[in-house]
Structure 1
Amino acid sequence: MLTELFQYNWQIRDEWMQWCREISYEELVKKRIGGMGSFLHTLFHVIDCEQLWVNQMWGKSVIVKDIETIKSLDDVKLYASATCANTMLFLDEHRENFEDKTLLIKTRNGDKLILPHKKILQHIITHEVHHIGQLSIWARELGVAPVHSDLLTRDL
């Protein structure tokens, strides 16, 4: 079930990137209220968070990218492709262990948390859904229909 929800998010994300090609560059990067402040940086943000969590669970180095270096949809698309491939490998290799594996993290205030991998994967999924809602609001503010994101009408 988790894999299907990741596929749903990736499908919606790809459609948002295609949608963004229909608006001007100025609208793509315009500072807005909420999210990461723009269509471009919000799309980058959900991808970046996905790779951050997956690489931590996998014990791999986290890729550190400065959001300010992301200037185009092509930058985001390349990052998305690499991140999706990495996430799919992780999901395939660890499918049997989601319930058993945990990750120890240190919070910003120094507390330590032990998080089950399954809960982290659920967080990654819902985090992206949250930001899809923000993109939809911004699209409506522009007077343009957002990407249709109804799970019930999609083939995964």
Structure 2
Amino acid sequence: MKRLIARLWRGIRGPVQWRLLYLSQAKFIVGVTGVVRDVDGNVLLLRHRFWPEKRPWGLPTGGAKRGETFQQTVVREVREETGLEVRVGELVLVRSGFRLRVEIAYAATYTGGGTMRLNAMEILEARWCAPDDLPEGLLESHRQLIESR
């Protein structure tokens, strides 16, 4: 029976195989976070409009879009939320998140971009913080990411 299934699988190559894989596998949202630091080691933190009032502070974060790498997601999210430019470094976290979410985090370095321009729809405030002087209301998982780097 296993040989027959393997023979059938090899025989349906291409789009049909991909469609069957797509239909049979779990679907996830991929949240990507950037642990962005400046040359002095300060970390970029944002007060997010749509996050819970008691935990509004966090790192630049957003959902990966179809067709972009996770590194490109970090660059895009930081640019969209702050107007700043970053260079993405090493992968620092991959884990299953809440329900159907996969969480990815990368270290990143601020490279410029002029003055900060916040996306007022999503971000209420941004600040560079020393790792030993993080604000109250910082998402605990983001605090752990900062402290682990």
Category of TM-score, reference length = shorter chain: under 0.3
- In the superposition, the TM-score normalised over structure 1's length comes to 0.26
The structure number with the bigger radius of gyration is: 2
- In the superposition, the TM-score normalised over structure 2's length comes to 0.27
Q: Which has the higher strand share?
A: 2
Q: Which has the higher helix share?
A: 1
